[in-house]
Amino acid sequence: MGRSELTIDLDAIRRNAGTLLRALDGAELWAVVKADGYGHGAVDVGRAALEAGATALCVATVPEGLALRAALGAARILVMGRASDGEIASAREAALELVVGAGEIPESVRVHLKLDTGMGRWGLSELPAPTRGVVGLMSHFASADCDPAFTEAQIERFRDATAGLPGLTRHLANSAGVLRYPAAAFDAARCGIALYGISPFGESAAADGLEPALRWESELAQVKLLAPGESTGYGRRFTAGRPTWIGIVPVGYADGFRRDLTGTQVRVGGEPRRVVGTVSMDAFAVALERELPVGTPVTLIGAGVEVEEHARVAGTIGYELVAGLNRSSERSRRVVVG
């Protein structure tokens, strides 16, 4: 298989879109495919989400939007991040929609006005009178995954601020908002992480009826017996206390298997096994119970190995782990199914 293989299951993406559409109860689902679809592939995921009923795609930058336009044709595409002055003309020509959260409202392109209801990042502190070209009103949750009181206050602020402006599409919720706050649905919701089957709450995604779409697999490239006192890896952070079989997996932090994943579990031949010693740039070690053949399959993500569990070990969130996967073809083979 080479070093490793990333498999993206588009049927899982479609089923997750269906789950979100049911929660949205009539509001539109807009699929967030920034950062190359959270590492899953923006074009494939975007196409699958549209097939499953999403009505727009959201990206962070104008170049991401232009790439989707070229690949997918007529889809509705919203660029959520700031567009530079130089990018506005190309956005207009490609019929991309832009978000304005500060400064002047460009007239020549369709725009969504972004109100800051508590994120304290991008966004206007008051909504100005919409000018020609304004098609939507939006805001963004700061803590829909963890703070109900603050989230309810953001919903109320958005509802009040947009009440006098009918006829414009109102969109506020992200994945966590859709899954926990029915009142946040408004006219449309921008969902990313849940579409990929990863929990926005850092829990098991299955609890919300979501199915991981990504599988990352490799294999044992070397197997060796450490005698007591012998170690594996940089810094000798794992030293065998008794004779210990270890397997070397040809994946490291340059592939996106982060250095702080020491201690997490992967599956070796289907069995949970612990990552031991320092993760290096191109390899890491797992402790085995017995000698196994070189070529034994190792699952790094998927098939029972949860991104959310890796994220807990690494002290981060699932978003960062999948966005950090190195998808260059010299590193891993990418397979799309479904």
Nearer to ligand PLP, 138 or 249 (CB): 138
Which residue lies nearest ligand PLP, judged by its C-beta? 192
H or E, element range at 58: strand 56-59
The reply on whether position 140 binds ligand PLP by CB under 6 A is yes
Cβ contacts of 334 within 8 Å, gap of 6 or more: 5, 6, 7, 8, 41, 327
Query: In sequence order, which ranges of the chain are alpha helices (DSSP H)?
Result: 10-24, 34-38, 42-51, 62-72, 85-93, 148-162, 175-180, 307-314, 318-323
Nearer to ligand PLP, 194 or 213 (CB): 194
Report, in this order, helix, strand and coil percent for the chain, each rounded to 5.
30, 25, 45
Q: Identify whether the C-beta of residue 112 lies closer than 8 Å to the C-beta of residue 127.
A: no
Q: Which of 34, 38, 114, 196 is catalytic?
A: 34
Q: Which of 114, 181, 234, 319 is catalytic?
A: 234
Q: Is 224 a catalytic residue?
A: no
| 145-148: long-range pairs with CB below 8 Å, 24+ | 145/176, 145/200, 145/201, 145/202, 146/201, 148/180
d(CA 141, CA 116): 9
Binding test (CB under 6 A) with ligand PLP, winner from 32, 91, 251, 268? 32
The reply on whether position 190 binds ligand PLP by CB under 6 A is yes
Query: Shortest Cβ distance from residue 303 to ligand PLP (Å)?
Result: 23
Binding test (CB under 6 A) with ligand PLP, winner from 4, 16, 117, 175? 175
Determine the interface stretch with ligand PLP among 184-192, 237-245, 285-293, 320-328 (rule: CB under 6 A). Answer: 184-192
Angle at 328 between CA 11 and CA 54, to 5 degrees: 30
Determine the interface stretch with ligand PLP among 85-93, 157-165, 170-178, 299-307 (rule: CB under 6 A). Answer: 170-178
Nearer to ligand PLP, 178 or 287 (CB): 178
Determine the interface stretch with ligand PLP among 174-182, 267-275, 278-286, 296-304 (rule: CB under 6 A). Answer: 174-182
Q: Identify whether the C-beta of residue 141 lies closer than 8 Å to the C-beta of residue 122.
A: no
Number of residues in contact with ligand PLP, rule: CB under 6 A? Answer: 13
Cβ contacts of 304 within 8 Å, gap of 6 or more: 267, 272
Q: Is 34 a catalytic residue?
A: yes
Q: Identify whether the C-beta of residue 194 lies closer than 8 Å to the C-beta of residue 160.
A: no
Query: Shortest Cβ distance from residue 114 to ligand PLP (Å)?
Result: 8
The reply on whether position 331 binds ligand PLP by CB under 6 A is no
Determine the interface stretch with ligand PLP among 103-111, 168-176, 268-276, 281-289 (rule: CB under 6 A). Answer: 168-176
Q: Identify whether the C-beta of residue 233 lies closer than 8 Å to the C-beta of residue 285.
A: yes
Binding to ligand PLP by CB under 6 A, coded x per residue (else -) over 54-83, reads: --------------------------x---
Query: Shortest Cβ distance from residue 11 to ligand PLP (Å)?
Result: 20
Determine the interface stretch with ligand PLP among 103-111, 188-196, 279-287, 330-338 (rule: CB under 6 A). Answer: 188-196
Query: Shortest Cβ distance from residue 79 to ligand PLP (Å)?
Result: 11
d(CA 174, CA 190): 5
Cα 165 to Cα 34, 188, 284, distances in angstroms:
29, 16, 56
d(CA 201, CA 151): 14
Binding site for ligand PLP (CB under 6 A): 32, 34, 80, 140, 174-176, 190-194, 200
Catalytic residues: 34, 234
